[in-house]
Homo-oligomer: A and B are copies of this chain.
Amino acid sequence: MATNLQLTEDGRLRHLLTLEGLPRRILTQILDTAASFVPVAERDVKKVPLLRGKAIFNIFFENSTRTRTTFEIAAKRLSADIVNLNINASSLSKGETLLDTVANLSAMQADMFIVRHAAAGAAHLIARNVAPHISVINAGDGRCAHPTQGLLDMYTLRHYKGEFHNLRVAIVGDILHSRVARSQIHALTTLGCPEVRVVAPKTLLPRDVESLGVHVHHNMEDGIRDVDAVLMLRLQNERMRGSRLPSAGEFFKHWGLTPAKLKLARPDAIVMHPGPMNRGVEIDSEVADGVQSVILSQVTFGIAVRMAVMSLLAGSGAQA
């Protein structure tokens, strides 16, 4: 089970693969640790020596400059040594299996792997097979999970809205293809958010979505009415060209977040987006750049959250 795989026997974080099944205690520990790292980035010397001499590998089986960069910066702020590997044209194309590649990198005495892979479950597979001194962070696997994104969303929510037990949150857009949405839903329910809504056309919702404990809305006006936070999702370009959607313009008309629609939410509601944004498709520029948008704060907090995860993993790994 993923839960057990992620925790040590005495209940500390061992790998970060998914937010599914992760206990509230751990989520809160990560958010609290992140809070202690936020001020580091405001110092003149933006570094702490916590992970000095640790070897962290950014192993990206699919390209994502943005995500790779956030982990690289977080590692450097912790004084770790980070090595970037783009493994598309390399060993794998020479016929080596994923596990042989990972065994090799392990043998270089890495301390941590940050893994991005197009296939769901790749990070789990690696975590199940690494040496005991190595921790794995899932930086996105297929549609499945992207836990540090979910965590930074929780950090941002808590920062602006306080505790979760009286929040009403709407997740809007392409739930079906979004690894971000799944991470958000798991984290929100675990942290005690009493009302999580998913707002999407039927063609962009997974069948079993209600079993996750969310309220389903097929009308955006109803969906975002009176919420404290609107969590927009990115519409993948490839979906727009597919048969599930009429057109980008049509999508924007029904599901794009405009100033008019945002007025239906609470007046102090915040707007979030995992980026990169499609302005004029899922979000209006006026909203994206407006006073209720906390989209760039998400990016800033994302560094602190990744520092928190890395430092907690390094701590448990050293004693494992």
Q: Is A195 in the interface zone, CB < 8 Å from B? A: no
Contact in complex: A276, B107 (CB < 8 Å): no
Closest to A276 in B: B96
State in angstroms the CA–CA spacing of A169 and B197 once bound together. Answer: 67
State in angstroms the CA–CA spacing of A64 and B91 once bound together. Answer: 8
Q: Is A211 in the interface zone, CB < 8 Å from B? A: no
Q: What string of 1s and 0s marks CB contacts (under 8 Å) between A56-78 and chain B?
A: 00000001111001101100110
Contact in complex: B296, A104 (CB < 8 Å): yes
Chain B residues, Cβ within 8 Å of A300: 107-109
Q: Is A212 in the interface zone, CB < 8 Å from B? A: no
Contact in complex: A276, B95 (CB < 8 Å): yes
Chain B residues, Cβ within 8 Å of A105: 69
Contact in complex: B90, A65 (CB < 8 Å): yes
Task: Find A275's partner among B72, B86, B100 (CB 8 Å cutoff).
Answer: B100
Known: A46-B55, A69-B83, A100-B275. A63 touches B90 (CB 8 A): yes
Contact in complex: B47, A43 (CB < 8 Å): no
Q: Please indicate which of the listed interface residues A54, A70, A275, A279 has the most CB atoms of chain B within 10 Å of its own CB.
A: A275
Contact in complex: A66, B52 (CB < 8 Å): no
Q: Is A10 in the interface zone, CB < 8 Å from B? A: no
Contact in complex: A275, B96 (CB < 8 Å): yes
Q: Is A245 in the interface zone, CB < 8 Å from B? A: no
Contact in complex: B72, A104 (CB < 8 Å): no
Closest CB of chain B to A108's CB: distance in Å? 6
Q: What string of 1s and 0s marks CB contacts (under 8 Å) between A230-257 and chain B?
A: 0000000100000000000000000000
Q: Is A45 in the interface zone, CB < 8 Å from B? A: yes
Can you identify 11 A-B contacts, CB atoms within 8 angstroms? A44-B53, A47-B53, A55-B73, A63-B89, A69-B83, A69-B108, A100-B277, A101-B276, A104-B276, A104-B299, A108-B300
